[in-house]
Structure 1
């Protein structure tokens, strides 16, 4: 799995304490809870219980972005396409601060979010939806017959990194690595995957602000 590879998770003498925020159908939580070589004790939370796979891990329904756990509880935290759903910038910052609070010193977190400047919005499959000013997005959604209210706030790269700084997180941008991993997993024999794997980072780095998915490896900032 891409998340496991990007975080470089390794087995230890004790099970890895892992939290998934916004588990959705439960696939990621189940994957880590039943991993054959990486022992994990998995906890998952969401605001609504929409799980299709529920065995192997502990689940809690939560309200808002606050997490019902003590400080420095988890070795690893996963927030996969969640932050755009939690609300405005204040709520998004609180989400990041909660990740930092429950993450152990020396622990790692995975954060992924759709980039505002993605061409096709992934939730509604509409081109340029998130490019529009906020007040125009819901009317455009209704005009195209895709829904009534656009409830997402996809961040731009610099906005997300500013919030990470404010939350006290040390971070590494993994957009290029994540892009390559996605193609390797989903299109292993396609020519586009072979091309992407061969292109040097120096050519891909200027594309970071417009890569469709923003991906980060996070740690508690020691400063």
Structure 2
């Protein structure tokens, strides 16, 4: 049985452009006369790094890293291949750091904490990180398209995967909301849960008509009730005390 972790790269560059737009809106990024420094960890196909590096209004010097080179587009940004969770950059090097569906791939709890510690180290004091994590309590696991896969205990996940003919080893470690927030506090981050805002932005960008228009007007109090089971947990993460535990 193999226990290697796969990249699970999304090859759809059009979807990466839309994801970049959503990240831009959630982080509240606006034009600035001085170029800022942005790092994408786990850039995959390179679509998001390319989006920010070639943005018509926003000025970014973009660095991207990944453990494999699976890029479909490489224009406008610098790329380095890395091993493990360590980042080849100095302390406080970046104004913006993106970790989009990366933490579930880096390993177990110790490696996940290392991933967050490295983000904390390279992020500038007034910077911001976009952190997206698949929710353990999502109904359908997105990498293998199996219902309730991540609900199982770790010991049962790989047998379920094999029984379904989807692979030999479940190589992801999704997290519940309480686990993500505990890790963020342990590392010393402050954070804002933007799951509901992200869902609204996704609907606004990808499905502006029909049912999506109705859902965008659902009161926030109702969205808050389902926040713990929203498929993707999304946070704006900073070092600023004013953000602490604001959900």
TM-score of the superposed pair, with normalisation by structure 1: 0.97
Q: Which residue of 2 aligns with 1:38?
A: 58
Q: Which residue of 2 aligns with 1:14?
A: 34
| Aligned counterpart in structure 2 of residue 211 of structure 1, from 230, 244, 247 | 230
* SS, match of residue 198 in structure 1: coil
Shift of 1:195: 2.2
TM-score of the superposed pair, with normalisation by structure 2: 0.88
Does the 8 A contact of 1:121 with 1:129 survive in 2?
A: yes
Stretches of 4+ moved more than 2 A in 1? none
Distance 2:43 2:70 in 1: 8
| Aligned counterpart in structure 1 of residue 239 of structure 2, from 190, 195, 220 | 220
Unaligned runs of 5+ in 1: none
CA offsets 1:143-189 (integer angstroms, 9 cap, x no match): 11111111000000000000000011010000000111112222111
Distance 1:206 1:169 in 2: 25
| Aligned counterpart in structure 1 of residue 47 of structure 2, from 14, 22, 27 | 27
Following superposition of structure 1 onto structure 2, how do residues 70-219 of structure 1 map, counting pairs within 5 Å?
Answer: 70-191=90-211, 193-219=212-238
Does the 8 A contact of 1:26 with 1:51 survive in 2?
A: yes
Distance 1:174 1:64 in 2: 28
Aligned residues: 222
Does the 8 A contact of 1:176 with 1:204 survive in 2?
A: yes
Unaligned runs of 5+ in 2: 1-20
Q: What is the root-mean-square deviation of aligned Cα atoms in Å? A: 1.1
Q: Which residue of 1 aligns with 2:86?
A: 66
Distance 2:91 2:73 in 1: 28
| Aligned counterpart in structure 1 of residue 74 of structure 2, from 54, 61, 64 | 54
Distance 1:15 1:190 in 2: 39
Does the 8 A contact of 1:168 with 1:221 survive in 2?
A: no
Does the 8 A contact of 2:126 with 2:240 survive in 1?
A: no
